Amino acid sequence: MPQYSTQNALNTATGLPPHAGMALQTVGSSLTDARTVVILLHGRGAGSEGIIPLAEELALKDVAFIVPEASGRAWYPFSFLSPLESNEPGLSSGLSVIDGIITACERLNITSDRIVLAGFSQGACLALEYAIRHPRRYHAVLGFSGGLIGPRGTAWQGGSALAETPVFLGCSDRDMHIPAERVQETAETFTAYGARVDMRLYPGMPHTINDDEIAAARAILSSEAGT
């Protein structure tokens, strides 16, 4: 069932995007001192507070985390495999939240090669979708239990605009929400866009994030320009 809040309904009724005006939190280094900025997106039903423990596990002294909140604790109402139009206007509104944060970072002279797009579950799907719709050189893209958005048979065009951006994809091989085939499709698509992809499917893992994923993500965050 869709999860939309009263705020979401009011925004829609007044013509505002569903996630307009929602709060965000910052964790870790200050933006002015940070070498790298991570935009970290929570999953369905979790809220921003639900993913802050992940920021704390990934924390490095010179990394700042920006954690936005979705209205109704859901970035879009239905499965990421549903027809795109069924997840509007939430999907476009969620993507615009990321866009607004990146624009704000650029005003602080934080370029895209210092920005990491990351998320878990629905948040991972949104982060990955933003990266493929706005390809450029990011510090990294981290997708924990997620994949590109769209129904089965969706085709994404290739290119080279991701310019060797490291992309990490970690997921169970039998996740109840994220089919392994979509994770594979996502890896192939990002490779076609010129990213350096590290995909890891974990046998029998539940819908969670394991220590190996944390270690891989920390290694990427600690590297210079995602090298």
Helix or strand (DSSP H, E) at 129: helix 122-133
Report the C-alpha gap between 140 and 126 in whole angstroms: 15
Report the C-alpha gap between 182 and 93 in whole angstroms: 23
101-152 pLDDT tens trace: 999 999 999 999 999 999 999 999 999 999 999 999 999 999 999 999 999 9
Token reading at 62: 């010179």
Report the C-alpha gap between 115 and 140 in whole angstroms: 7
CA nearest to 22, candidates 101, 81, 103: 101
44-65 pLDDT tens trace: 999 999 999 999 999 999 999 9
**Residue 13 near residue 83, CB atoms below 8 Å:** no
pLDDT at position 7 is 43
Tell me the domain boundaries of the chain. Answer: 6-226
Sheet of 166-172: strands edge to edge?
24-28, 63-68, 36-41, 115-120, 140-144, 166-172, 196-202
Q: Is 91 helix (H, G, I), strand (E, B) or coil?
A: helix
CATH value of 6-226 in 2.40.50.140, 3.40.190.10, 3.40.50.1820, 3.30.420.40: 3.40.50.1820
This model's pTM is above 0.95: no
